[in-house]
Structure 1
Amino acid sequence: MKVIACDIDGPLIIEPEVFGDDRGFFMESWNAGAFAEAGLDIAFVQDNHSRSDKGVLRGLHFQNPCAQGKLVRVVRGAVFDVAVDLRRSSPTFGKWVGVELSGRNHRMLWIPRGFAHGFLTLEDGTDFLYKCDAPYAPEHEVTLAWDDPDVAIEWPTAGLDIRLSAKDRDGRSLTEIEALV
């Protein structure tokens, strides 16, 4: 597998080795030993799966306290996936990284604790899977506004009818949230 650093310290793009032929393909999406060898010694406690149609924007979510690290990937369809640095002590506090994840490119993104996470689906019927290193704690979940001008994420929204949940419509600005350490 290939591990690619992002412009912000912490998130990593992971390109697994994919073995394909005329029958299809095979890849390891998780191997504790291989990930530990790459510096990602992670103990996951929860797997999640969401399906969304084109134009659904989920996020930007994080938990404070009880932060989660997430390994995210798409098995069908495509998303523009975003991580926002919420580590107050970081020189990149409030900055973001975005990457397209799809069933075709097989890429994964590691989002460590200290980041808000969200994604915009680019195709109908997109299946998004993610592993978490801490359990979901709804009482600690916070939503950073997806369109906060202080963060200024360049979402690829052209031609899309953006659909949000009530929770995501009511996200708070970067100046209103309690940042992580």
Structure 2
Amino acid sequence: MRIESTELADVLLLVPEPFHDDRGLFTRTFDAPIFDAYVGAGTSATFVQDSQSRSARGVIRGMHGRGGRGEAKLVRCAHGAVHDILVDIRPGSPTFGRHQAFLLDDTDFRHLYVPAGFLHGFQALTETADICYRIDRPHDPAEDLAVAYDDPDLALMWPQEVTVVSPRDRAAGSWRELLESGHLTHRS
């Protein structure tokens, strides 16, 4: 497994090295000692919750985050492909307010380490897309944050026609409202 920096401060792209043979393939999707050695002191690969979502082509889930201490997560696409977007919401971060998009799929198996303090969302690019999340602390609904996927101030680009968005995501607030709310995750 190789680890690469991204344009967003502290976000890492993990690149497995699949082994292909006549049976199919095998790949290690995460290796805690390699991760811990790369990030150094103060961060470790401790996850307490695994979750998975399945979405149909064109579905958008996001943009979601957590207030308070936030949550770190490891995100990968186990089946299909998604257009994944992160937005840095950490005041004081050198990339605060910036976003970056990533292609996550079941061909290259690249996945993202997302530190606490980011909005996250994705659009399914294939007929079916399964996303797996490893999260570093239990979910607390009182800390849920959401910004509309089509907020004009964020100006996120989605590559396909939007087919389905949940009522919760349709009712999400704006980037401006989040900035004024005082609920942003503070960078540690």
Aligned ranges for residues 122-161 of structure 1 at < 5 Å? 122-157=125-160, 160-161=161-162
What TM-score results when the alignment is normalised by the length of structure 1? 0.93
The amino acid across from 1:162 in the alignment is T
Aligned ranges for residues 20-169 of structure 1 at < 5 Å? 20-39=20-39, 41-157=44-160, 160-169=161-170
Distance across 2 between alignment mates of 1:5 and 1:111 = 11
Distance across 2 between alignment mates of 1:142 and 1:162 = 23
Distance across 2 between alignment mates of 1:86 and 1:31 = 27
Deviation of 1:67 after TM superposition, in Å, equals 1.0
Distance across 2 between alignment mates of 1:171 and 1:91 = 26
Gaps of 5+ in 1: none
The amino acid across from 1:124 in the alignment is E
Deviation of 1:162 after TM superposition, in Å, equals 2.8
Q: Report the equivalent of 1:176.
A: 177
Q: Secondary structure at the match of 1:38?
A: helix
Q: Secondary structure at the match of 1:167?
A: helix
Deviation of 1:91 after TM superposition, in Å, equals 2.9
Q: Secondary structure at the match of 2:175?
A: coil
The amino acid across from 1:168 in the alignment is D
Distance across 1 between alignment mates of 2:15 and 2:28 = 10
Q: Secondary structure at the match of 2:34?
A: helix
> What per-residue deviation string (whole Å, max 9, x for no partner) do you get for residues 51-98 of structure 1?
111011001111112411110001111000111000111232211011
Equivalenced residue count is: 179
Superposed CA RMSD: 1.3
Q: 1:32·1:42 contact (CA, 8 Å) conserved in 2?
A: yes
The runs of 4+ residues in structure 1 deviating greater than 3 Å are none
Which deviates more from structure 2 when the two are superposed, residues 105-114 or residues 60-69? 60-69
The amino acid across from 2:31 in the alignment is N
Gaps of 5+ in 2: none
